[in-house]
């Protein structure tokens, strides 16, 4: 697999595997690459009949299955922009994404569609049920050939939470996603005989790449929506899985299971992102899966993925982020704007062709994060200034120091504190609200919410949790609500989050 292979449009990934080789394992059965090509072509034909405008956005809000696996390729073939929505999101977040993206079509499961209310679907956006869409595509029988679009055209918008405000849409080109698939397939050394268990949400860049990198290598994907960690272990055994990508909380749960030796030995590679692995967890995984190569990784949606740690270095450097992945240039820039010296803290800056095209219809936030590359960059152009603080050692290995923003990272999810706070304030039950991430062994960070009750509010202790449960997805739900008479205020007149975190942490210890 050559790093110099030509960049193609995203839908060409369906063309890579051997015709008779398995490409996708569904509940209904296994489909080959030849069938995958046929189904991508017919779904693309149906999409082009539903939405005629090239570059229009089409959204999906459904569990893992044939539709959600085919859509990244089919939408690209139809000249449309795919907007995958996390199936665990609720109507408030979905309505924002539909309106912000200007979606012209929403394909979703009937149960999810029933949760929507008047005004949630913007004017000009039509609705289709997922199974019905696939059936209609077959009945229509219109097939589109592989795309000849410019690889630098927009292919997808992935919505990710920021430290302030509602989710923002990261714009990814065909080239971004193609090169990301090629890069990961190369450094993981994926082969056509590999089987990847896709347990991560396909609305995440990490989750979507499970599909794309595996298909780039001609391998097979087994999508799984699991309820408990034991479901993952059973799927590894049932489907002879060789590759598993997960986030630290799931690795903790998997490491606590009683794995059969022959089942654990099926796994050839384990990948981690969405939070750092602890030294203890690394030791447990290495002991439990001695035949598997462990790849700790670091990434951000704005540049897909930035670094990985070579498995041979994991035992000696278990807390390192590693070095740049293929097609990425990673620089550490100190506060003077220069390349940081070894051991000196600086900001991680990602340069090169994996850098996304900015935030959808948000020039202000795009200008904050996507800025000209440092003069030392070999690529130049626009870079992603991550806001993450790192250090580089004398061997070129990177180590995470901390985040500049207030982002909460819980169970692999990037959560906007302001998004939770806005929902709490919208209830009218609280006058002030501040969401915090408190260190947690299993989740990385657990969400805690500090509030000051609004005057005249009634039954707040029972009503606020009910309203939050109604309007926020499960991964955003506060573990605890802390009721304060006065919020700590800093010199700038804003809530002092450092003091508040210390106060909440002290309460939890007491």
Task: Tell me the CA distances in angstroms from 302 to 160, 177, 239, one per residue in order.
Answer: 9, 12, 33
Rounded to the nearest 5°, which phi and psi values hold at 350?
-105, 125
- CA atoms lying within 13 Å on the CB side of residue 167: 30
Listed residue (440, 487, 447) closest to 469, CA to CA: 447
What are 468's two structure tokens? 């939050």
Tell me if 406 sits within 8 A of 434, measured CB to CB. no
pLDDT of residue 278: 80
Task: For residue 266, report the phi and psi dihedrals to the nearest 5 degrees.
Answer: -65, -30
Cα 163 to Cα 134: distance, rounded to the nearest angstrom: 37
Q: How far apart are CA 31 and CA 206, in angstroms?
A: 23
Assess contact for 220 and 25: CB atoms under 8 A. yes
Instruction: Tell which residue, 198, 206, 202, 145, has the closest CA to residue 181.
Output: 206
Residues 6+ apart with CB under 8 A from 440: 410, 446
How far is Cα 371 from Cα 358, in angstroms, rounded to an integer?
Answer: 10
CA atoms within 13 A on the CB side of 230: 2
Phi, psi of 353, rounded to the nearest 5 degrees: -75, -5
List C-alpha distances in Å: 457 to 325, 334, 452, 454. Answer: 53, 48, 11, 6
Cα separation, 477 vs 471, in Å, equals 9
> Which pLDDT value is given to residue 355?
98
- How far is 146 from 8, CA to CA, in rounded Å? 10
User: Which residue from 57, 71, 222 is spatially nearest to 134, judged by alpha carbons?
Assistant: 71
Whether residue 484 contacts residue 499, with contact meaning beta carbons closer than 8 Å, is answered with no
User: ∠ at Cα 371 (365, 375), nearest 5°?
Assistant: 165
Per-residue confidence (pLDDT) for residue 280, from 0 to 100: 80
Whole-angstrom distance, CA of residue 489 vs CA of residue 65 = 48
Closest residue by Cα to residue 215 from 188, 244, 185: 185
Within 10 angstroms of residue 152's Cβ, the number of other Cβ atoms is 14
The 8-class DSSP code of residue 478 comes to -
- For 482, counting Cβ atoms within 10 Å of its Cβ (0-12 exposed, 13-18 middle, 19+ buried), the class is middle
What's the average pLDDT block by block, 10 residues per block, for the chain (510 residues)? 70 96 96 98 98 97 97 98 94 94 98 96 97 96 95 96 73 97 98 97 93 98 95 97 92 92 97 84 93 95 95 92 97 95 96 98 95 96 94 95 77 85 89 91 93 88 94 94 89 76 89
Q: Which residues are CB-neighbours of 365 under 8 A, at least 6 positions away? A: 162, 168, 359
pLDDT value, residue 249: 81
The strand ranges marked E within 80-125 are 81-84, 105-108
* Placement of tokens 């394909």 in the chain: 107
Beta bridge partners of 370: 384
Positions of E strands within 7-130: 22-26, 29-32, 57-61, 81-84, 105-108, 126-129
Phi, psi of 452 (to 5 degrees): -115, 125
From residue 204, give the alpha-carbon distance in Å to each of 24, 86, 244, 363, 494: 19, 8, 15, 22, 32
**Which burial class, exposed, middle or buried, applies to 396 when counting CB atoms under 10 A from its CB (0-12, 13-18, 19+)?**
exposed
Write down how long the chain is: 510
Cα dihedral 140, 145, 148, 152 sign: positive
Residue 194 DSSP code: -
Cα angle 503, 509, 510 (rounded to 5 degrees) comes to 90
The H or E element that residue 372 is part of is: strand 370-372
Please report the pLDDT score of residue 1 as a whole number: 42
pLDDT at residue number 2: 41
d(CA 451, CA 421) in angstroms, rounded, equals: 9
Q: Find out whether 84 and 62 touch, Cβ atoms under 8 Å.
A: no
What structural domains and CATH numbers belong to the chain?
A: 1-15+27-176 (3.40.50.980), 408-509 (3.30.300.30)
**Residue in the block written with tokens 């709490």:** 424
| pTM for this entry | 0.86
């Amino acid at each position: 697999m050559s790093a110099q292979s030509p960049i193609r449009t995203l839908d060409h990934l369906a063309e890579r595997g051997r015709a008779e080789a398995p490409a996708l394992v569904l509940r209904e059965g296994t489909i080959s690459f030849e069938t995958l090509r046929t189904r991508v072509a017919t779904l693309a034909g149906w999409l082009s009949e539903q939405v005629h405008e090239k570059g229009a956005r089409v959204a999906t809000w459904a569990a893992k299955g044939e539709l959600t696996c085919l859509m990244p390729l089919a939408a690209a073939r139809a000249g449309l922009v795919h907007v995958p929505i996390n199936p665990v999101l609720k109507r408030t977040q979905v309505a924002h994404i539909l309106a912000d993206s200007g979606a012209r079509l929403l394909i979703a499961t009937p149960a999810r569609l029933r949760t929507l209310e008047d005004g949630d679907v913007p004017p000009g956006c039509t609705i289709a049920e997922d199974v019905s869409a696939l059936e209609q595509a077959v009945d229509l029988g219109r097939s589109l050939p592989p795309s000849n679009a410019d690889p630098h055209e927009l292919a997808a918008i992935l919505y990710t939470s920021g430290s302030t405000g509602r989710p923002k849409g990261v714009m990814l080109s065909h080239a971004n996603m193609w090169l990301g698939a090629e890069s990961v397939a190369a450094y993981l050394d994926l082969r056509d005989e590999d089987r990847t268990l896709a347990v991560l949400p396909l609305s995440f860049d990490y989750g979507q790449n499970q599909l794309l990198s595996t298909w780039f290598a001609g391998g097979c994907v087994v999508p799984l929506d699991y309820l408990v960690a034991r479901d993952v272990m059973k799927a590894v055994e049932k489907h002879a899985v060789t590759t598993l990508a997960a986030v630290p909380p799931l690795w903790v749960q998997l490491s606590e299971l009683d794995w059969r030796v022959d089942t654990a030995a099926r796994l050839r590679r384990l990948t981690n992102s969405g939070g750092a692995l602890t030294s203890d967890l690394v030791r447990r995984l290495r002991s439990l899966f001695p035949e598997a190569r462990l790849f700790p990784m670091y990434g951000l949606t704005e540049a897909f993925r930035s670094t990985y740690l070579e498995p041979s270095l994991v035992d000696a450097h278990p807390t390192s982020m590693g070095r740049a992945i293929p097609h990425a240039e990673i620089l550490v820039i100190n506060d003077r704007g220069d390349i940081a010296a070894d051991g000196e803290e600086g900001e991680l800056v990602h340069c090169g062709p994996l850098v996304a095209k900015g935030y959808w219809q948000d020039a202000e936030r795009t200008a904050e994060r996507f800025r000209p590359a440092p003069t030392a960059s070999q690529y130049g152009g626009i870079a992603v200034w991550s806001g993450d603080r790192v250090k580089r050692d004398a061997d070129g290995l990177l180590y995470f120091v901390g985040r500049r923003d207030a982002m909460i990272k819980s169970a692999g999810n990037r959560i906007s504190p302001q998004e939770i706070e806005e929902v709490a304030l919208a209830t009218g039950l609280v006058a002030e609200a501040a969401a915090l991430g408190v260190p947690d062994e299993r989740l990385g960070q657990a969400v805690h919410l500090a509030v000051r009750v609004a005057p005249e509010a009634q039954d707040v202790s029972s009503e606020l949790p009910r309203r939050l449960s109604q309007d926020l997805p499960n991964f955003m739900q506060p573990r605890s609500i802390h009721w304060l008479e006065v919020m700590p205020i800093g010199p700038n007149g804003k809530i002092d989050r450092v003091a508040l975190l210390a106060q909440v942490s002290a309460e939890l210890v007491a």
